[in-house]
Structure 1
Amino acid sequence: MNRRTPESLAGRLLHVTRIYHEPDIERFPRARQVLDRYPAAERIEVLSHQAIPGLYGNEGNVEDWVRNKREVLVLGEKKSLSARRNERSSDWIAPSTSNGCAMACSYCYVPRRKGYANPITVFANIEKITGYLERHAARQGVKAIANQCDPVDWVYDIGENSDCSVDAMVSDNVHDLVDLFARLPNAKASFATKLVNRDLLTYDPRGGTRIRFSLMPADTSRVVDVRTSKIADRIAALDDFVDAGYEVHLNFSPVIVHENWLADWTELLTQVADGTSARTRAQLAAEIIFLTHNEGLHEVNLGWHPRGEDLLWRPDLQQTKRSESGQWNVRYKTGWKGRWVDQLTDLIATTLPECRIRYAF
């Protein structure tokens, strides 16, 4: 059966015309692979993938928010490797093999750090990264105490600042990571995604990779999930990914509150219950994260997608809090949010009872 991703999907998301790259990047086979994939793209050498004049920090790029995501790639070397403790979606955050995204979800926190542009950066030294992860997992030994991340395996989030389903269209980094965790005896990869990339069905994960499909009600997704797969397509893919050997969880994030939000969530959960097999539902687990927004991101979004802010920026429902970085974040008001979390978890218990809730906040 041909399960290759249709060309229209990759073509819709990426039409690379410009590649910024660090000096001597072609010494890495993975960089050569990416460059060969886009032979007509203009190549521009830069000193660092983190400091590209005219791309990052250029307020005028707000007008080209989506164009930069579609047309620009960055190639660099990941020089500092570390696995950070997490203990929420995973035990560890793995060193990135990429950051940035071709999709343009208007609530995404990553652009806050990069400044008016967020195209994909591919790290070409994949062998160094996978070698580090293999040694790190070996040092952990057997997971002696089960936790909400996983009862048996140490879980490594491999897509904290990117979407691995998109990254897999650009290079083989994701394939290499899935192969790595398929053979590690005590560790599992994990990533959240909003894209159905059926190329991943040709991999051989052997239970070593957990894909967390992000879901929200379709009407809300059509406004804020810009350039992503339709919610119906994500639900339709769940059984296929379980059958292909992946562990499949759900990422109910962000939960966006509005006047009809509970009715919309009832419809969504019913669609999942009716659209998946008993086998898929039996292994489901979910994380629930209510929206946190940011004043700076709000201002950026007003420059390219103001309609989304009608849902995301609700001062009547939200309260402000200063973040550790000094920025002003907004979250739903404390007393109300607690009730809304209880309402949603109760709804899941009655509508999709097989789905275990890993955490909710």
Structure 2
Amino acid sequence: MTTTPADVERDRMLSPSRIYFEPAAAELPRGQQVLARFPDATRVEVASHWQIPELHGDETNVRRWVRIKREALVLGVKKSLTARPNGRSADFIAPSTANGCAMACAYCYVPRHKGYSNPITVFANIDRITGYLARHIARQGPKPEPNQCDPAAWVYDIGENSDCSVDALVSDNVADLIGLFAAQPTAKASFATKYVNRGLLDLSPRGRTRVRFSLMPARAAKLLDLRTSPIPERLRALDDFVEAGYEVHVNLSPVVVYPGWLDDWAELLSDLGDATAEATKAQLAAEVIMLTHNRALHEVNLGWHPKAEQVLWRPDLQETKRSEGGGINVRYRAGQKRLLLDELLDLVAERAPYLRIRYAF
């Protein structure tokens, strides 16, 4: 069997020794595709992708945090299909085609939902999901007026609970979504990513998929963005994705405050300018998002990556806020956060005046 570059890349990120599957998922073509891609993995039947004790909700798994992400994979069926209104980064949050991630960013909020490591779950009923989305898009009709999401298209975030660039290594769900939106004159897909999957360059998005590459200073990324593509690699990819027909934006996020943080951002913004052609700069826009952390995740991180918490957990700068789900989040104190954010925005205006800020908070 010939080994392709995609196979090599997939094996670097994922080498599942166990695939947990719902029987209904394994019967679907997409489920069979995933199982075939990892033929040597042990298959473990489960009643629900939400309830796998050795993966979810067991605090002793903290010691195996990254190992679980590499060695476990879950196949499930997405039960509830809704496109939730958003209005910030996107007009709607599309139904997930995956949940969890093989990467291990220390500040990620996704582990809060299932508990602890939260490896990738692939939803095999992709045909039902794309059918729902096509009908939802049709019901909206043309976008009546511009907003901060997009001047003309309804924007659907297709990667709220996962990273689509990594998901595309596991199944064709992301390719199917990109294909769906390529044929939609009134809508476009959008997802944020910290991973450069050059296999996506072989698809035909036709300008209807917005890829938002997340950026932070390289020094911070080495500490916080574990198992992701290095920042220089993300910068090198921007022009290539524009040339391939994607709309490319950047997420300056999360913005983490530490000694020398503004100097590091100045260097990154200079590197962004050096890395991008005029065609990329002309369509580039940014979201700027200050760090929000979580007390429970802080406790988890102390068990596997305590150095990250030295910059993420800053009681001297942060205040608590209870989330809608009842969790205790921490964020930079309101008055101070505004000053810190303004400092960064002033720096963007100075170092990257071409970079349109879509929103900042």
TM bin, normalised by shorter chain, reads: over 0.9
- Segments of structure 2 that go 5 or more residues without pairing to the other structure are none
Determine the C-alpha separation between the residues in 2 that align with 1:198 and 1:81. Answer: 30
1:15 is aligned with what amino acid? S
Determine the C-alpha separation between the residues in 2 that align with 1:23 and 1:11. Answer: 25
1:302 is aligned with what amino acid? L
Contact 1:5 1:198 in 2 (8 A): no
Match of 1:190 in 2: 190
Determine the C-alpha separation between the residues in 2 that align with 1:234 and 1:91. Answer: 26
Contact 1:130 1:177 in 2 (8 A): yes
Match of 1:202 in 2: 202
Contact 1:5 1:197 in 2 (8 A): no
Contact 2:24 2:77 in 1 (8 A): no
5 and 358 in structure 1: CA distance in 2 versus 1, 3 angstrom threshold:
farther
1:352 is aligned with what amino acid? A
| Counterparts of residues 1-361 of structure 1 (less than 5 Å) | 5=5, 7-361=7-361
Given the two structures, how large is their TM-score scaled by the length of structure 2?
0.98
Q: Which aligned segments of 4 or more residues in structure 1 are displaced greater than 3 angstroms?
A: 4-9
1:264 is aligned with what amino acid? D
- Displacement of 1:9 after TM fit? 3.3
Contact 1:285 1:355 in 2 (8 A): yes
- Displacement of 1:8 after TM fit? 4.5
Contact 2:25 2:125 in 1 (8 A): no
Contact 1:282 1:354 in 2 (8 A): yes
Determine the C-alpha separation between the residues in 1 that align with 2:236 and 2:12. Answer: 20
1:103 is aligned with what amino acid? M
Contact 2:194 2:234 in 1 (8 A): yes
Determine the C-alpha separation between the residues in 1 that align with 2:357 and 2:179. Answer: 28
- Alignment: residue pair count: 358
Determine the C-alpha separation between the residues in 2 that align with 1:26 and 1:108. Answer: 29
Determine the C-alpha separation between the residues in 1 that align with 2:85 and 2:24. Answer: 33
- Displacement of 1:7 after TM fit? 4.7
- Displacement of 1:34 after TM fit? 0.2
2:146 is aligned with what amino acid? A
Give the match's secondary structure for 1:61. Answer: helix
Which moves more between the two structures, 311-320 or 197-206? 311-320
- Displacement of 1:325 after TM fit? 2.1
- Displacement of 1:23 after TM fit? 1.8
- Segments of structure 1 that go 5 or more residues without pairing to the other structure are none
Which moves more between the two structures, 109-118 or 33-42? 109-118
- Displacement of 1:5 after TM fit? 4.8
Which moves more between the two structures, 8-17 or 84-93? 8-17
Contact 1:165 1:195 in 2 (8 A): yes
1:161 is aligned with what amino acid? N
2:36 is aligned with what amino acid? D
Which moves more between the two structures, 75-84 or 339-348? 339-348
Determine the C-alpha separation between the residues in 1 that align with 2:125 and 2:115. Answer: 25
Determine the C-alpha separation between the residues in 1 that align with 2:96 and 2:224. Answer: 25
Determine the C-alpha separation between the residues in 1 that align with 2:112 and 2:24. Answer: 29
Contact 2:212 2:248 in 1 (8 A): yes
Contact 2:165 2:196 in 1 (8 A): yes
Contact 1:255 1:291 in 2 (8 A): yes
Determine the C-alpha separation between the residues in 2 that align with 1:304 and 1:12. Answer: 21
Contact 1:286 1:359 in 2 (8 A): yes
Identity of aligned residues (%): 65
Which moves more between the two structures, 192-201 or 16-25? 16-25
